[in-house]
């Protein structure tokens, strides 16, 4: 396509500067980063004639006060009429959160995660030089639990020490769900501008990942020196991104490129800056383009394989999983529809069609009567279910609430059966905590058969489903199951300086893995706390949770406002 006229960059630079001044500070750049490459153009439309006079428009701002007034319930609820036992259990979970935070603060503040046995911090290589993953992941949990002093400590660290001027290789997926999601949620809950400005600044650094022939982003992004150059009909994204070395034939991962929609739409909502979500001259979004590619490619048996080429837009392998590599793609379809206040009909249809194919081809029942979701490898079923797939009980229940009347009860029963199976994977272990994966073959049901699957790393997916099932049915067994998890965590995972995962759930004296995962504070403890809250605390009428349990608001109305300077 033809480039825009030479004056177009100047015009739009002025527009972007105006938007950036209102939305937050520009992204920093770091010297000495990888050599940049210039990417392709985004379906440019030809420019004709003389350039028009520079457009002037009022700066953008997000009307936060109007947004808060639109919420149907107080964020922390009204705490009316609860029984003493429920309150006592909730307070115990709050104490666990304070214990986890206090030890992180004492021994690892500024690092990404706490090593509780050795009482030091862990940085890891997922976040491209970013620090403080536990801080950002914990912000909204601290706020919701009314741990006011601890929340202020976390906020102060973000204000004073959270440096985005880094140069490293980061997981697009992990940075998005943990950092972008955590900062967005903290802003929506508190209105503190520092969280919004950090989210927008970091969001800009993720844009080069979309710079592929199909617009399907690659999994790894350099957070070093980058530039976003806007033109009237073209956006050039400069920077480095590449696929994971282990991903088949340079493919992108379904659960990674399919888990951007919620956060990126909110980046656009808060910034008013089309660079985040909209192409310069159209209403099509970068993340909406992902759906376009997926709707165009043929789905085997209606299923979505886990590996897609960002170059050709074709599947690379026919491996289908509702657990790792696939999981949150499906979650974000139903939640995109809910977040749009049920206006995003494309997302709802994609979810309904996918669930129908999953039920037809992957949902099975064991000889002992347990319902599970198998994996699919080129038409051959692998009768195992990962802990990660246990989120699906809650997802199916959430979708059932909004299904056609004749299907609603069916899907609620399916959700209950899957959640029960995941509970059985906990119940059948010696620690009453579940393994990383469990199988249904050779006489085995809901138990790990391989040594490499016997560990538990403080994962949240089972208690996530308990929380949704409680809110949607009020069956007391889900609170009881959740309390059993609390007791097991206290008995087997709590150590002198925090909480640690364990290497074998089938022994009553397990070895600890010396890692307090950031998602333990973001998800596991948050979902347990909400399980023992009234329904109006982070009400499902007002919020959807991203896949790291960060609450993002449902768009009940338009909160954009233009203000005159």
- What are the boundaries of each domain within the chain? 68-227+234-553
3-class DSSP state of 264: helix
**Distance linking the first and last C-alpha atoms of the chain:** 38
Q: How much is the pLDDT for 300?
A: 97
Residue 395, pLDDT > 80, answer: yes
Query: Over pLDDT 90: what percentage of the chain?
Result: 77
Q: How much is the pLDDT for 286?
A: 81
**Distance from C-alpha of 284 to C-alpha of 286, rounded to nearest angstrom:** 7
Average pLDDT over residues 420-430: 98
- Model confidence at 229, pLDDT cuts 50, 70, 90, reads low
Q: Which residue has the tokens 């000495």?
A: 32
Tell me which of 174, 352, 464, 534 is the catalytic residue.
174
**Distance from C-alpha of 304 to C-alpha of 291, rounded to nearest angstrom:** 12
Say how many residues make up the chain.
Answer: 565
Tell me which of 150, 424, 436, 548 is the catalytic residue.
436
**Distance from C-alpha of 351 to C-alpha of 66, rounded to nearest angstrom:** 31
Residue 174 catalytic?
A: yes
pLDDT in tens, 124-165: 999 999 999 999 999 999 999 999 999 999 999 999 999 999
| CA 446 and chain centroid, separation | 27
**Whole-model pTM over 0.85:** yes
Residue 170, pLDDT > 80, answer: yes
| CA 152 and chain centroid, separation | 24
Q: How much is the pLDDT for 294?
A: 97
Q: How much is the pLDDT for 16?
A: 33
Question: At residue 91, what are phi and psi to the nearest 5 degrees?
Answer: -65, -35
Tell me how crowded residue 365 is: count the other CB atoms within 10 A of its CB: 12
Tokens standing for residue 212: 């592929």
5 labeled binding residue: no
Greatest mean pLDDT among 35-44, 269-278, 406-415: 406-415
- DSSP code per residue over 117-162: TTTEEE--SSBTT---HHHHHHHHHHHHTT-HHHHHHHHHHHHHH-
In 3D space, the residue among 239, 265, 273, 220 whose CA is nearest the CA of residue 25 turns out to be 273
Question: At residue 152, what are phi and psi to the nearest 5 degrees?
Answer: -65, -35
Q: How much is the pLDDT for 57?
A: 43
| C-alpha dihedral (214, 215, 216, 217), degrees to nearest 10 | 140
Q: How much is the pLDDT for 59?
A: 60
Tell me which of 327, 504, 523, 548 is the catalytic residue.
327
Residue 484 catalytic?
A: no
Average pLDDT over residues 258-282: 73
Residue 15, pLDDT > 80, answer: no
* Architecture, CATH, for domain 68-227+234-553: Alpha/alpha barrel (1.50)
* 168 and 223 Cβ atoms separated by less than 8 Å: yes
- Model confidence at 556, pLDDT cuts 50, 70, 90, reads confident
Burial class of residue 341, CB neighbours in 10 A (0-12, 13-18, 19+): exposed
Residue 50 catalytic?
A: no
Residue 55, pLDDT > 60, answer: no
């Amino acid at each position: 396509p033809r480039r825009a006229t030479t004056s177009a960059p100047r015009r739009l630079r002025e527009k972007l500067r105006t938007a950036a001044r209102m939305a937050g500070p520009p992204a920093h750049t770091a010297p000495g980063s990888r050599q940049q490459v210039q990417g392709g153009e985004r379906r440019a439309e030809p420019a004709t004639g003389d350039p028009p006079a520079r457009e002037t428009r009022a700066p953008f701002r997000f009307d936060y006060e109007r947004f808060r007034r639109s919420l149907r319930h107080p964020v922390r609820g009204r705490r009316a009429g609860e029984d003493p036992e429920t309150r006592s259990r909730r307070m115990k979970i709050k104490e666990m959160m304070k214990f986890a935070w206090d030890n992180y603060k004492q021994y690892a503040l500024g690092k990404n995660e706490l090593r509780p046995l050795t009482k030091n911090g862990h940085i890891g290589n997922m976040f491209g030089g970013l620090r403080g993953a536990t801080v950002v992941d914990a912000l909204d949990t601290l706020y919701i639990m009314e741990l006011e002093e601890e929340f202020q400590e976390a906020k102060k660290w973000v204000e004073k020490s959270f440096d985005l001027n880094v140069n490293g290789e980061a997981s697009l997926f992990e940075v998005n769900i943990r950092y972008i999601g955590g900062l967005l949620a903290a802003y929506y809950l508190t209105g503190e501008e520092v969280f919004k400005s950090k989210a927008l600044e970091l969001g800009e650094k993720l844009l080069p990942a979309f710079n592929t022939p199909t617009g399907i982003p690659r999994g790894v992004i350099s957070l070093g020196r980058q530039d976003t150059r806007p033109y009237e009909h073209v956006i050039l994204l400069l920077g480095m991104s590449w696929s994971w070395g282990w991903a088949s034939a340079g493919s992108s991962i379904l659960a990674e490129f399919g888990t951007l929609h919620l956060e990126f739409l909110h980046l656009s909502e808060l910034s008013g800056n089309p660079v985040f979500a909209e192409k310069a001259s159209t209403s099509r979004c970068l993340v909406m383009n992902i759906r376009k590619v997926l709707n165009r490619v043929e789905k085997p048996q209606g299923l979505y394989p886990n590996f897609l080429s960002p170059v050709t837009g074709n599947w690379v392998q026919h491996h289908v999983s509702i657990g790792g590599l696939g999981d949150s793609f499906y979650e974000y379809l139903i939640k995109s529809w809910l977040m749009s206040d049920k206006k995003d009909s494309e997302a709802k249809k994609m979810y309904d069609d996918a669930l129908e194919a999953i039920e037809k081809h992957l949902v099975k029942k064991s000889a002992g009567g347990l319902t599970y979701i198998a994996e699919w490898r080129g038409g051959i079923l692998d009768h195992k279910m990962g802990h990660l797939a246990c989120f699906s009980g809650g997802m199916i229940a959430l979708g059932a609430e909004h299904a056609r009347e004749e299907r609603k009860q069916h899907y609620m029963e399916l959700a209950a059966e899957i959640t029960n199976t995941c509970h059985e994977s906990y119940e059948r272990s010696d620690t009453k905590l579940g393994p990383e994966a469990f199988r249904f073959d050779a006489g085995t049901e809901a138990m790990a058969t391989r040594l490499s699957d016997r560990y538990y790393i403080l994962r949240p997916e089972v208690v996530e489903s308990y929380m949704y099932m409680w809110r949607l049915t009020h069956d007391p067994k889900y609170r009881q199951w959740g309390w059993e998890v609390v007791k097991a965590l206290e008995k087997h995972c709590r150590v002198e300086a925090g909480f640690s995962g364990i290497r074998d759930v089938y022994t009553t004296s397990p070895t600890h893995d010396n890692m307090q995962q950031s998602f333990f504070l973001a998800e596991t403890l948050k979902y347990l706390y909400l399980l023992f809250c009234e329904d109006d605390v982070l009400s499902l009428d007002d919020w959807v949770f991203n896949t790291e349990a960060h609450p993002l608001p449902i768009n009940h109305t338009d909160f954009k406002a233009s203000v005159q300077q």
